[in-house]
């Protein structure tokens, strides 16, 4: 049987590239579309070095429906879509809301618009635990209340979930699985692909590894006066390869018509909350490298604590986050060292 074809939008990005690897390893034919606004073409080489297979790559913008029409014509028989393509910087979204609403929503609308005519059976959508805001109770389940978004980025995720729900309710002949990621971290164990943020990192792990490398002087720990055991914020850090594997299961589920409902929503996290200070300690003991850090004031808009109840994904998808945090942090460090070897950073 010919391999089934899957379209991965944003597939040269951080999570998309790791997912492309897992899809290829599982025997799928992968077509990537990416406009390279937050990634580079070299990622395709990394995917090929890991898998021995070069995925098809279209450099293009998903907000342009004609580009997508041409892609479906050039690569017929696409059975599933995983939509990673989006702008994702929370702070930037507050300053440039139109860019965020247009990029994230037009991309999704165009894909949904073209699925039926092209016989696509399902779409996986990258959502976020940001939809839960500051939860009243942890861990959060899929039934926990959705809180008013605190940024245009977060709002695009909430609106996207609603758009998908409405389109499916209107009788669209395809299914959707919405995956709410907690905090994806780490890199592929080969160190051939990983997270490569543009400019000064806004997120904890890239800032931490760049500090450990001496690129940044000190990591700022944003607050130690929260209502948590050590006073620093708590998150659920999920290994990116573990996360990628859930997408392969989700795709299979839709292609096999095994979904229990036309639209399903799953939390993807480990179920364990880890504070910023604990994470620094775990990194230092896993790698033997010190991270100079200083406690500074709180970052505006930060959530105090959030972690997942992943039992629905564990039970229904048969998926579980398996990689210990120490190994995940070591993989992030190996990736940072590889960037240095390659003269990138």
Contacting positions for ligand NAD (CB under 6 A): 9-10, 12-16, 33-39, 61-63, 84-88, 103, 107, 126, 128, 181, 183-184
Q: What is the rounded CA–CA span in Å between residue 339 and residue 345?
A: 6
Looking at the Cβ atoms of 202 and 295, the one nearer to ligand NAD is 202
Is 132 labeled as catalytic in the residue annotation? no
Q: Looking at 204, 240, 246, 329, which residue binds ligand UFG (CB under 6 A)?
A: 204
User: x/- string (CB under 6 A) for ligand UFG, residues 106-135?
Assistant: ----------------------xxx-----
Q: What is the rounded CA–CA span in Å between residue 37 and residue 99?
A: 12
Which residue is closest to ligand UFG by CB?
A: 233
Q: What is the rounded CA–CA span in Å between residue 104 and residue 244?
A: 20
Q: What is the rounded CA–CA span in Å between residue 209 and residue 148?
A: 33
Residue 221 as a binder of ligand UFG (CB under 6 A): the answer is: yes
Q: For residue 8, what is the enclosing H or E element? A: strand 5-9
Residue 235 as a binder of ligand UFG (CB under 6 A): the answer is: yes
Piece of 97-105, 196-204, 250-258, 328-336 that binds ligand UFG (CB under 6 A): 196-204
User: DSSP string spanning 53-100?
Assistant: ---EEEE--TT-HHHHHHHHHHS--EEEEEE------HHHHHH-HHHH
Catalytic residue among 153, 207, 226, 237: 153
Shortest distance (Å) from residue 54 CB to ligand UFG: 30
Piece of 35-43, 72-80, 104-112, 199-207 that binds ligand UFG (CB under 6 A): 199-207
User: Token digits for 23?
Assistant: 């899809």
Shortest distance (Å) from residue 93 CB to ligand UFG: 9
**Residue 36 binding result from ligand NAD, ligand UFG, none, given CB thresholds of 5 to 8 Å by partner type:** ligand NAD
Report DSSP state, residue 130.
G
The contacts of residue 15 (CB under 8 Å, 6+ apart) are 84, 126, 181, 184, 240, 243, 244
Q: What is the rounded CA–CA span in Å between residue 292 and residue 216?
A: 9
Q: What is the rounded CA–CA span in Å between residue 287 and residue 315?
A: 33
Piece of 65-73, 215-223, 264-272, 312-320 that binds ligand UFG (CB under 6 A): 215-223
Q: Using CB under 6 A as the criterion, which residues of the chain lie in contact with ligand UFG when the complex forms?
A: 88, 90, 128-130, 181, 183, 202-204, 207, 219-222, 233, 235, 276, 299, 302
The residues annotated with a catalytic role in the active site are 153
């Amino acid at each position: 049987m010919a391999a089934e074809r899957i379209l991965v939008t944003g597939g040269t990005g951080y999570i998309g590239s790791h997912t492309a690897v897992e899809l290829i390893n599982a025997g799928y034919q992968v077509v990537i579309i990416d406009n390279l606004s937050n990634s580079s073409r070299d990622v395709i080489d990394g995917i090929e070095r890991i898998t021995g297979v070069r995925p098809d790559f279209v450099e293009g913008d998903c907000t342009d429906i004609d580009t997508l029409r041409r892609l479906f014509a050039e690569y017929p028989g696409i059975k599933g879509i995983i939509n990673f393509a989006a702008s994702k910087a929370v702070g930037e979204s507050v300053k440039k809301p139109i860019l965020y609403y247009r990029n994230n929503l037009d991309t999704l609308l165009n894909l949904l618009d073209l699925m039926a005519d092209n016989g696509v059976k399902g779409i996986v959508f990258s959502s976020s635990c940001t939809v839960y805001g500051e939860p009243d109770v942890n861990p959060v389940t899929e039934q926990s209340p959705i809180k008013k978004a605190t940024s245009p980025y977060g709002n695009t995720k909430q609106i996207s979930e609603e758009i998908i729900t409405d389109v499916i309710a209107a009788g669209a002949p395809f299914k959707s699985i919405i995956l709410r990621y907690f905090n994806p971290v780490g890199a592929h164990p080969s160190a051939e692909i990983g997270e490569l943020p543009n400019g000064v990192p806004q997120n904890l792990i890239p800032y931490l590894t760049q500090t450990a490398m001496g690129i940044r002087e000190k990591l700022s720990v944003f607050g130690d006066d929260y209502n948590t055991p050590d006073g620093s914020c708590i998150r659920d850090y999920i290994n990116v390869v573990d996360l990628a594997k859930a997408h392969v299961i989700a795709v299979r589920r839709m292609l096999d018509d095994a979904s229990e409902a036309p639209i399903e929503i799953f939390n993807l996290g480990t179920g364990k909350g880890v504070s910023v200070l604990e994470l620094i300690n775990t990194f230092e003991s896993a790698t033997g490298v010190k991270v100079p850090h200083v406690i500074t004031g709180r970052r505006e808009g930060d959530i105090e604590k959030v972690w997942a109840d992943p039992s629905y994904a564990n039970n229904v998808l048969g998926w579980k986050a398996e990689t210990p945090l120490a190994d995940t942090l070591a993989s992030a460090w190996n990736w940072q060292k590889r960037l240095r070897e390659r003269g990138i950073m």
